[in-house]
Chains A and B, each alone.
Chain A
Amino acid sequence: MSRLLLGAALALLPLGAAAQERVLAIGGSVTEIVYMLGEQGRLVGRDSTSTFPAEVEALPDVGYMRALSPEGVLSVSPELILMESGAGPAETLDTLAGAGVATVTVPDDYSPAGVLAKVRSVAGAMGVPDKGEALAADLDAQMQAALAKVAAEDGPPPRVLFILGNSGGRLMGAGTDTAAAAMIELAGGTSAIDSFEGYTALTDEAIAVAAPDVILAMERGEGASSHGDDEYLTHPALAQTPAALGGHVVRMPGTFLLGFGPRTPDAIAALHAALYPDAP
């Protein structure tokens, strides 16, 4: 109740121009961009995939982005909802449109240009295009610096196998047209699997044929320790691959590595450094 009254009071304040003041961010990369724009004061809520920076977790969580409930979303009284593509379900979006809330779907593309487009889209929707241009230029410079270092490498690119998860020894690997494959290419590696699209359970033989030089995986939670790598190093199919023989397992936080948001330049640099440990 008090939240509604507060919302009504805030809406009456003569803040800025026509820009909507109460913004709900759906999708981890969108939330990160709002923070990078310095507009986090306007955030009134987030979805469960928005976990970075840590302070965002203090905001109300309206649930998983693909299973939003209309009243949950409206309960934070948003004036503008910024959504990563894939947010839904369609019935909820339909109801929200009927309730008169402005919604903007932010385009998603696994490329450096896609990140800049996201930034411009979020900044434009929030009425701060100038800040958006500044951030985009900044990120572009970082991106170019990271990519320049990658381009300076010679020699064959390492074959990288991204493993999404391990359920009882069955590994889920990344094929083409995934955020993981895009990041691997950007960081100067080559995706070890190119025979299928998306994430699929790998057969042991396919892993042996792929012969990855490096295994890339997400970090498990806060207490991830090195002994977790044993599950890959001792996996029967992986054990004989160059990656396992050399002990090359790289772990990174999922939203950092695959988010395609403002931290992507850092992620490219970090992954590049991990793939080429001997580089200066």
Chain B
Amino acid sequence: MTAIPFTPAIRAPRLAVPAVTTGLALLLAAMACLSLSIGASGLLPWELFTRELNPAERAILLDIRLPRLILGMLVGAALAVSGALMQGLFRNPLADPGLVGVGAGAGLGAVIAIVLGGVMPAAVQAVTGMYMVSLFAFFGGWATTLILYRVASLRGHTSIATMLLAGIVLGALAGAATGVLIYLADDNQLRDLTFWGLGSLAGANWVKVWAAAPVLIAGLAAAPFLARGLNAMALGEAVARHLGVPVEAVKRGAILAVAAMTGASVAVSGGIGFVGIVVPHILRLAIGPDHRTLLPAAALFGATLLIGADTFSRVVVAPAELPIGIIMALIGAPVFLWILLARRATMEI
């Protein structure tokens, strides 16, 4: 990308960006410590060094809470950054990763694995093992995005409007296929489906961390390179192109990054909504819409919010656990409504 001496005419930030970013980083660190320290067992992390722990207690700290924390931070950051990228790409504050079909496709993949998992060829079952649902969700999400991208692209140009409409159509198609499978599902599979859709980090383990982390980190690392282009595209694709922004490359990069991050997130944690909408919105109010600062802040805030919600989810009905998707929607929906109400006079949707 050639250097662009361009800064979009954006409203002055309401809060100092370095202060907000530092504050969010500190908040994330504090929340991470809290998350490691709180759990149904009442075990504290420093007991690892102060006394001899039995295998079950070691497992709680090292094989349950730690991978769960890492996965939670990565998923939260990925979902928030995906949301911010989508809103930048679609120039619409309501855009979320669901618009590129990842959600519906991943949902269909998960349903296929849950309902038809038992009748899959033995080879598929042997290779995927207990991670069949995760793998199918990931590839279902990816496949949907690739189809959408092909549909919306013509002669090297990707039409965002076509993508939006085709996304709705593909979503309906995936929804119908999901409905057929739900109809075929037995009682237990229906319950599994319901819990999958509510989202949870309870299945976190090191295998999932090692599988998902490279994808999530790659997506997060790619996001800052898109920031300048997305800023220019806020003025419209034509203007951005005249400014020398490689518009098609930015679009392609954003779509692929979002598909990868959301697909991997959904695969390891099921359906967790609202992070991608609430986090970027709150941050735009706080530090303005410049993607160069918005994206890192969204990653920090998304990670904090998700592990906060996860910590809450596992203590509120301890020793049982409330699915995290419920908590995110319980927090997210009212906050989002409040933002809408507070800004409806000035906001054009």
A227 interface residue per 8 A CB criterion: no
Docked complex Cα distance between A92 and B55 (Å)? 16
B314 interface residue per 8 A CB criterion: yes
B42 interface residue per 8 A CB criterion: yes
A98 interface residue per 8 A CB criterion: yes
Docked complex Cα distance between A92 and B203 (Å)? 6
Q: A63-B321, A98-B59 are in contact. Are A71 and B195 (CB under 8 A)?
A: no
B56 interface residue per 8 A CB criterion: yes
B181 interface residue per 8 A CB criterion: no
Looking at the assembled complex, report how far the CB atom of A132 sits from the nearest CB atom of chain B, in whole angstroms: 27
Judge whether A4 and B314 touch: CB under 8 Å: no
- With a cutoff of 8 Å between Cβ atoms, the chain B residues found around residue A17 in the complex are none
Pick the contact of A72 from B65, B203, B320 — CB < 8 Å?
B320
Docked complex Cα distance between A89 and B196 (Å)? 11
Docked complex Cα distance between A73 and B54 (Å)? 15
B40 interface residue per 8 A CB criterion: yes
Judge whether B314 and A94 touch: CB under 8 Å: no
Docked complex Cα distance between A75 and B64 (Å)? 12
Judge whether B188 and A100 touch: CB under 8 Å: no
Docked complex Cα distance between A61 and B317 (Å)? 9
Q: Which partner residue on chain B sits nearest A100 by CB separation?
A: B55
Q: Which partner residue on chain A sits nearest B202 by CB separation?
A: A69
Judge whether B192 and A74 touch: CB under 8 Å: no
Judge whether A94 and B59 touch: CB under 8 Å: no
- With a cutoff of 8 Å between Cβ atoms, the chain A residues found around residue B318 in the complex are 72, 75
The interface size of chain B toward A, counting residues with CB under 8 Å, comes to 37
Docked complex Cα distance between A130 and B319 (Å)? 33
| Contact residues of B between 155 and 209, Cβ < 8 Å to A | 183, 186-188, 191-192, 195, 200, 202-205, 208
- With a cutoff of 8 Å between Cβ atoms, the chain B residues found around residue A126 in the complex are none
Looking at the assembled complex, report how far the CB atom of B169 sits from the nearest CB atom of chain A, in whole angstroms: 27
Query: What does the 1/0 interface line of A69-84 toward B look like (CB < 8 Å)?
Result: 1111111110000000
Query: What does the 1/0 interface line of B284-325 toward A look like (CB < 8 Å)?
Result: 000000000000000000000000000000100111110100
Docked complex Cα distance between A3 and B57 (Å)? 13
- With a cutoff of 8 Å between Cβ atoms, the chain A residues found around residue B319 in the complex are 45, 60-63, 69, 71-73, 75-76
B107 interface residue per 8 A CB criterion: no
Judge whether B320 and A95 touch: CB under 8 Å: no
Judge whether B202 and A66 touch: CB under 8 Å: no
B263 interface residue per 8 A CB criterion: no
- With a cutoff of 8 Å between Cβ atoms, the chain B residues found around residue A231 in the complex are none
B333 interface residue per 8 A CB criterion: no
Looking at the assembled complex, report how far the CB atom of B215 sits from the nearest CB atom of chain A, in whole angstroms: 18
- With a cutoff of 8 Å between Cβ atoms, the chain B residues found around residue A60 in the complex are 319
A13 interface residue per 8 A CB criterion: no
Q: Which partner residue on chain B sits nearest A99 by CB separation?
A: B59
Docked complex Cα distance between A61 and B322 (Å)? 12
- With a cutoff of 8 Å between Cβ atoms, the chain A residues found around residue B63 in the complex are 95, 98-99
Docked complex Cα distance between A153 and B178 (Å)? 46
- With a cutoff of 8 Å between Cβ atoms, the chain A residues found around residue B122 in the complex are none
Given contacts A67-B202, A98-B59, could you give 18 more A-B pairs where the C-beta distance is less than 8 Å?
Answer: A62-B319, A62-B320, A64-B195, A67-B195, A67-B323, A70-B60, A71-B60, A71-B314, A71-B319, A74-B41, A74-B56, A74-B60, A74-B64, A75-B41, A77-B41, A92-B203, A95-B59, A164-B187
